[in-house]
Structure 1
Amino acid sequence: MRTPRLVLRPVGHGHLAELVALKADEAAFGLMLHGVRTPERSEQELREDIAFWAARGYGTWAVHRAEDDAFLGITGLMERPDGRGVALRFALWPWSRGKGYAREAARAALDFGHRAGLRRIIAVARESNHASRAVLADLGLRDVGNFEHQGHSMLILESLSPSLGFQHESQEKGA
């Protein structure tokens, strides 16, 4: 998948070294669910990501800068292990931040998911993670709840398929 400045490729075995490095870096992956990963865990997650793509037709993309193919990080759509639904996620190298790459990559993933038929896509961010919250707000995700996780206040945001407008799930159910 291409955007004006990025190339997004479904993760594959050729991305293993880049993923191991990214996921071991506290500044890049420390705020992600379950934090930094060991090389073994990163390899296991890559196998799971490849299987998820095969089963669902969406998943995690490796984000590359189009001009020089530099690996910037990941974005994707994954089923949350807590049952909250399909979630948008992104993690980029700190040196690539502040240039709009996360926003551009996450927008592409979000749009892909809605075109693929996902009515509702959520995102979860620490309340204190202002950078991620700004990206999600710029993408039009709206706050719909919160919960505590390992001593951190977590926000739940959602994006509904454009055909649903801005109606929230709770409104759909008559709550």
Structure 2
Amino acid sequence: MTTDRSAILAALDGVGPLIRRLGQAHTQLWQERVGGETTGPQFTVLGLLCVHGAMDQGALGARAHLDKSTAADVVERLRQRGLVTVGRDPRDLRRKMIGATDQGCALATGLAGDVARIADQLLARLAPEERAAFIALARRLAAGDEEPEPWGPSAGPVRPKRAHVTTPGQRD
């Protein structure tokens, strides 16, 4: 068997290893600034609830870009710490509603500066216009088939770009 060194080297120098290294750098900075008590997904969930108010668990998972199982685990950990409340929607008892407590919003507010400084430190080698371009491109790539939406207070629910509808007898 022959080894295609150039293909291996190209793969080792590709986007996957770069994203992994950026993830490691972000994790290290997170540990230094925030610590291990609150994770990135927990901060995201708290931040979304504080900015947008209580919402059902499905909408929260979609906005936080978490799968159903991960969202449920994050919510449960935050509930155990007294940072969120979990209840039923009085109009539809099947819906589980999640809301941030005052303590949860205080924590999110307190961590927001550290999270912003982590991003600044991670992107410190880039000029301001390069940072903006990098963030725009990363958002576009992360969005996949979803409409890219801002994180701001006006961000709506995640919507697919296009619906794929099949009729009976139609093949995909």
After TM superposition, the score normalised by the length of structure 2 is 0.30
TM-score by length of 1: 0.29
Higher strand proportion (structure 1 or 2):
1
Greater fraction of residues in helix = 2
